[in-house]
Amino acid sequence: MRVLGENHEQILTSDALEFVAKLHRAHAARRDELIARRRQRGTLDFLPETADVRAGDWQVAEAPEPLRDRRVEITGPTERKMAINALNSGAKVWLADLEDANTPHWDNVIQGQVNLYDAARETIEYTSPEGKHYALKGGPYPTVVVRPRGWHLDERHLEIDGKPAVGALVDFGLHFFHNASLGRPYYYLPKMEHHLEARLWNDVFTLAQQELGVPHGTIRATVLIETIPAAFQMDEILHELRDHASGLNAGRWDYLFSIIKYFRDAGADFVLPDRNSVTMTAPFMRAYTELLVQTCHKRGAFAMGGMAAFIPNRRDPEVTENALKKVREDKSREAGDGFDGSWVAHPDLVPVCREIFDGVLGDRPNQLGKQRPEVSVTAADLLNIKALGGKATRAGVESAVDVGVRYLVSWLSGNGAAAIHNLMEDAATAEISRSQLWQWINNKVVLEDGTQVTAELVRDVLARTRAELSGPHADVAAELFEQVTLSDDFVDFLTLPAYERI
């Protein structure tokens, strides 16, 4: 194992590095096979070979006390100030994000681990460049649930047997190694596309616990169902992880990205309209969330709601009022459907989410008991994209370019989440922007005003957006955006070429 970035001795101890290397050597080859397998795109349906898992009578392990009440989860990067703010936010869970909201700059990766280390020990403090001091206010604090990178990303600053380490194993391995002894090794697992990927995580957990003498089943994981193939394998994913599973989360933004990606060249029936016209009430999105709640509660697992992108602005009451209204609507729908809790992107949204779930839960910590036997979701329901209707517009093209490039500027500068035009943007929402344009170009979509979407049109809009931007990252952001939007072959993840540029 070689450390190619700056060596941070607190986190990269020789024992910690050896532990990560052990996880890597045991599992990297299978990771590679599973990533290669993702390239097969066939007809999607519930798998015949796992019908017995779906029909079987089994439950996931009972929730440990710190994860029994998850009514409000705040998400955010592991940057030090935001970590303290998240811990002081009054949420039940802090999703400490090393994924969609994080640029995997080496410094972010390692400083994130330092912050998680200090957060777990409740010793985290920070003084801002302006001299404002941040400290923990007095508990109870949210349970920390860490989201490592997805299986597709490498960590090139650590080299094992001459190859870059698997990013997911670096994030998980370092966190588990340093914090498992404190008793709450809890994780969110992103972007999986197959239950065999969940089996791989389960094997990683089993080995990690054995190595450190931690009882089997201490780790708990909540899996994001945020790809279209995974929507057909919710039972199977929970079953693979059943000793370690805590629940499933409806990660709507990556889910939309995955739908566009999977069906990018499948013709008009699968072309999505402007991003802002695809809401959670679209029939195919309702099918997805209804199936998720039903599956989770049948298996004793938590059903977690997703992220409404509207964020408040402390300097603009009108923006804040709109965000609170939209978030209220979103959380009310989720709570009514049976979700056990949901995500918010900002501390000022914690109270509204809590109020909505308090109203539904009463004195219960969750609504695991709410079974949904009346829900009946078919493969056709999950894939009924065309029922949505909706238009692709010139404003949609302009907004996709504008948001995508501005987000990349932020990402390249080290901020993986940004407020752009009063919406939270992160890697998942940026993926929608660029994949949507790819889909429109390659399906020769004609906009509402009669113009066909072409590479030339996108280049033209991109040039105008570039002209509005300044700063050290604008050129690279524009180049990257062009690459992932206009390349003939679809680039699997925006963050793969972007990682080459940091």
Ligand X SMILES: CC(=O)SCCNC(=O)CCNC(=O)[C@H](O)C(C)(C)COP(=O)(O)OP(=O)(O)OC[C@H]1O[C@@H](n2cnc3c(N)ncnc32)[C@H](O)[C@@H]1OP(=O)(O)O
- Residues of this chain, 279-318, that bind ligand X according to CB under 6 A: 307, 311, 313-314
- Letters for 345-374 (x = contact with ligand X by CB under 6 A, - = none) are xxx---------------------------
Active site residues: 147, 426
Alpha helices in 38-140 (DSSP H): 51-55, 80-87, 106-120
The span of 268-276, 339-347, 396-404, 484-492 binding ligand X (CB under 6 A) equals 339-347
Query: Which is closer to ligand X, CB of 307 or CB of 445?
Result: 307
- Residues of this chain, 403-462, that bind ligand X according to CB under 6 A: 417-419, 424, 426, 428
The span of 17-25, 246-254, 376-384, 401-409 binding ligand O=CC(=O)O (CB under 6 A) equals 246-254
CA neighbours within 13 Å on the CB side: how many for 45? 6
Whether 112 and 78 have beta carbons less than 8 Å apart is answered as yes
The number of residues that bind ligand O=CC(=O)O (CB under 6 A) is: 10
Query: Which is closer to Mg ion, CB of 141 or CB of 288?
Result: 288
Q: How far is the CB of 226 from ligand O=CC(=O)O (least distance, A)?
A: 5
Regarding 229 and contact with ligand O=CC(=O)O (CB under 6 A), the answer is no
Among 301, 428, 430, 458, binds ligand O=CC(=O)O (CB under 6 A): 428
Residue type, 460: D
3-class secondary-structure state, position 369:
coil
Whether 408 and 498 have beta carbons less than 8 Å apart is answered as yes
**Strand locations in 216-363 (E):** 220-225, 245-250, 302-304, 342-344
Q: Over the Cα atoms of the chain, what is R_g? A: 22
- Residues of this chain, 131-160, that bind ligand X according to CB under 6 A: none
Among 20, 60, 63, 74, binds ligand X (CB under 6 A): 74
Residues of 40-61 as b/e, b for ≥16 C-beta within 10 angstroms?
eeeeeebbeebeebeeeeeebb
Regarding 285 and contact with ligand O=CC(=O)O (CB under 6 A), the answer is no
Among 19, 177, 186, 253, binds ligand O=CC(=O)O (CB under 6 A): 253
Distance, in Å, from the CA atom of 38 to the CA atom of 359, rounded to the nearest integer, reads 42
Regarding 254 and contact with ligand O=CC(=O)O (CB under 6 A), the answer is yes
Regarding 39 and contact with ligand X (CB under 6 A), the answer is no
Residues of 364-395 as b/e, b for ≥16 C-beta within 10 angstroms?
ebbbbebebeebebeeebbbebeebeeebbbe
Query: Which is closer to Mg ion, CB of 109 or CB of 428?
Result: 428
Q: Which residues sit opposite 97 in a β-bridge? A: 77, 147
- Interface with ligand O=CC(=O)O by CB under 6 A: which residues? 100, 224, 226, 251-254, 306-307, 428
